[in-house]
A and B are shown apart, each in its own frame.
Chain A
Amino acid sequence: MTGATGLTTARQPDPPATPRGLPRLLASVREDARPTSLDEHVRRYGSTRDAVTGPALISLVEASGLRGRGGAAFPTGVKLRAVAAQRGRPVLVVNGVEAEPASGKDRALLRTTPQLVLDGAVLAAGAVGAQEVIVGIGRHAIREREVVAAAIDARRRKRIDGRVSLRVVVAPDAFVSGEETALLQFLNGGPAKPTFTPPRPFERGVGGAPTLVQNVETLAHLALIARFGAPWFRELGTPAEPGSALLTISGAVARPGIHEIALGTPLRELLTDAGGATEPVSAYLVGGYFGTWFAEPAARELLLDEEHLAARGGGFGAGVIVALPATTCPVSEVARVARYLADESAGQCGPCVHGLPAIADSLARITIGEAHDQRLARWLTEVRGRGACRHPDGATRFAASSLDVFAGEIEEHLRYGRCAASDRRVLPIPARGRDRR
């Protein structure tokens, strides 16, 4: 700084400002989308030296009301406490698999603000007494893996993490490989397929140790809670679900991509944020491929939080929203997704192995105007809750909601063999042959 005397004085860096309003997680993302460096990150948010650490952080996370952002909205503080209460030194697994095709928020965080995620991981590890942190990232997320590996190196050079060591593990990116027991079985040298619980991960995970599995975004929030506190966290969101959340919106909107909102925000506001609709929309898929459809225009009044959506038969899931253009045939779209979900069954549980293909076949018949199997409705309820993991629950919820919301279009298909809409594809399906092991 140059003073009035013309002498230069040592410039004190401005203390990092407590983030007010939005964005929070995305506050340090660079214009050019290159990863925020460790220095830039510390300049924006401050160092973890000034954060609440160790067991005290567990109470703080409980007070914050933070819930997991990986899809199940489970209270993070409860999980931290359960892991800390186990005998043996725990391990922390950062779930960055994000195999949900229409989701991109976890990879966006890893790519643009890796130090925020790693801060959260190291802080959570310290809270439960873990010294080993494993970051699981999908095989196709090559850029993210490079960025995170470089970010870990930068931390190592500065020796900021004490006894905690971090490493990246490449995980398969089949749909169910991000399910926590599947990821753990893979880390233990087995196939990336879910296991029967109990034992739950907090009891027995990596190498048999109590294991805390948290979603990438959950840990990014935790890193900020440790710095700015629980009341700060609760300045946004609802009392039951405080804080902000990342959403991935795609389909017929002007600015598709990642948006940070306060939980409980009306869909209408998110749509404005996303530049509005580019063409008429028939319905919105909320919560991804385990989620549900809401028809236009009532959908706009939905509030985006788990409590509100669950009361309407849906869920926030991992924050995926797709605006389906009115000109796209919803029946063929949902049939394609149902087939994809059936193909992505890990092939272990009878009801999932037989039920999901039967449901997909039924939906496929509707698209060509053939009557669907009369047993379809029964299958949709019978298959639910009978797999080792929640894959069949999500797949049947999606199918049931599709039958309900698109009943008119289905009627049209059954009557005329097709509908008036085009078969332009909007819902993404990964190429077949993605690795599963």
Chain B
Amino acid sequence: MSDVLRVNPIACEGHGLCAELFPERIRLDDWGYPIVDPRPITPELEQHARRAVDSCPTLALLLARTHTNATGAAVGPGRPRR
């Protein structure tokens, strides 16, 4: 079990702050909305991820718990736990 980043696209206003704070895993599309890397957050990245989540002005960025399957890929969107 580990965490993946998720965006609530209804709440997200495309401020782009998250991409600035966590470029390792978040980039912006042509309209300024975040594209997050679906891979689970590794322990080294945990702190950066947390900071990005905590800085989002609309609480749209979430760390969601996920299960990983045998191949290590994240399974299911998971329940946000911010």
Interface of B is mostly: loop
Does B17 make an interface contact (CB < 8 A)? no
| Number of residues on chain B facing chain A (CB within 8 A) | 17
Contacts of B79 in A (CB 8 A): 198
Q: What 1/0 flags go to B6-44 for Cβ under 8 Å of A?
A: 011111111000000000000001111101000000000
B29→A351 contact, CB < 8 A? yes
A437 to chain B, nearest CB (A): 17
Chain A residue with Cβ nearest B29: A382
Kindly state the separation between the CA atoms of A388 and B7 in the bound complex, as whole angstroms. Answer: 9
Kindly state the separation between the CA atoms of A94 and B9 in the bound complex, as whole angstroms. Answer: 27
Chain A residue with Cβ nearest B12: A350
Does A163 make an interface contact (CB < 8 A)? no
Kindly state the separation between the CA atoms of A382 and B31 in the bound complex, as whole angstroms. Answer: 11
B14→A350 contact, CB < 8 A? yes
Selected contact of A348 from candidates B10, B30, B35, CB within 8 Å: B10
Selected contact of B30 from candidates A194, A375, A387, CB within 8 Å: A375
B9→A386 contact, CB < 8 A? yes
Does A354 make an interface contact (CB < 8 A)? yes
* Contact flag A350-B33 (CB < 8 Å), given A196-B11, A386-B7: yes
Contacts of A375 in B (CB 8 A): 30
Name which of B7, B11, B13, B33 has the most chain A CB atoms within 10 A of its CB.
Answer: B33
A350→B32 contact, CB < 8 A? yes
Q: Which of A224-271 contact B (CB under 8 A)?
A: none
Chain A residue with Cβ nearest B35: A382
Chain A residue with Cβ nearest B13: A350
How many contacting A-B pairs (Cβ < 8 A)?
46
Kindly state the separation between the CA atoms of A198 and B31 in the bound complex, as whole angstroms. Answer: 26
Contacts of A195 in B (CB 8 A): 10
Kindly state the separation between the CA atoms of A375 and B30 in the bound complex, as whole angstroms. Answer: 9
Q: Which of B28-66 contact A (CB under 8 A)?
A: 29-33, 35
B30→A379 contact, CB < 8 A? yes
| Number of residues on chain A facing chain B (CB within 8 A) | 20
Kindly state the separation between the CA atoms of A132 and B56 in the bound complex, as whole angstroms. Answer: 40
Contacts of B77 in A (CB 8 A): 197
Name which of B8, B9, B31, B33 has the most chain A CB atoms within 10 A of its CB.
Answer: B9
* Contact flag A386-B35 (CB < 8 Å), given A196-B10, A350-B9: yes
A14 to chain B, nearest CB (A): 50
Contacts of B31 in A (CB 8 A): 350-351, 354-355
Contacts of A110 in B (CB 8 A): none
Contacts of A349 in B (CB 8 A): 9-10, 12
B80→A351 contact, CB < 8 A? no
* Contact flag A196-B8 (CB < 8 Å), given A350-B14, A382-B35, A386-B35: yes
Selected contact of B33 from candidates A197, A351, A358, CB within 8 Å: A351
Chain B residue with Cβ nearest A382: B29
A63 to chain B, nearest CB (A): 25
Does A83 make an interface contact (CB < 8 A)? no
Chain A residue with Cβ nearest B80: A198
Contacts of A388 in B (CB 8 A): 8-10
Kindly state the separation between the CA atoms of A220 and B11 in the bound complex, as whole angstroms. Answer: 37
Contacts of A379 in B (CB 8 A): 30
Contacts of B32 in A (CB 8 A): 350
Contacts of B29 in A (CB 8 A): 350-351, 355, 382-383
B60 to chain A, nearest CB (A): 9
A210 to chain B, nearest CB (A): 16
Kindly state the separation between the CA atoms of A383 and B80 in the bound complex, as whole angstroms. Answer: 21
16 interchain pairs, CB-CB under 8 A: A195-B10, A196-B8, A197-B77, A198-B79, A348-B10, A349-B9, A349-B12, A350-B9, A350-B13, A350-B29, A350-B32, A351-B9, A351-B31, A351-B33, A354-B33, A388-B8
Known pairs A350-B29, A350-B33, A351-B9 / 14 extra A-B pairs, C-beta < 8 Å: A195-B10, A196-B8, A196-B9, A196-B10, A198-B80, A349-B10, A350-B12, A351-B29, A355-B29, A382-B35, A386-B7, A386-B33, A386-B35, A388-B8
Q: Which residues of B contact A (CB under 8 A)?
A: 7-14, 29-33, 35, 77, 79-80
**Which 10 A-B pairs have CB atoms at the shortest separation, nearest pair first?**
A349-B9, A350-B33, A354-B31, A348-B10, A196-B8, A388-B10, A350-B14, A196-B10, A198-B79, A388-B9
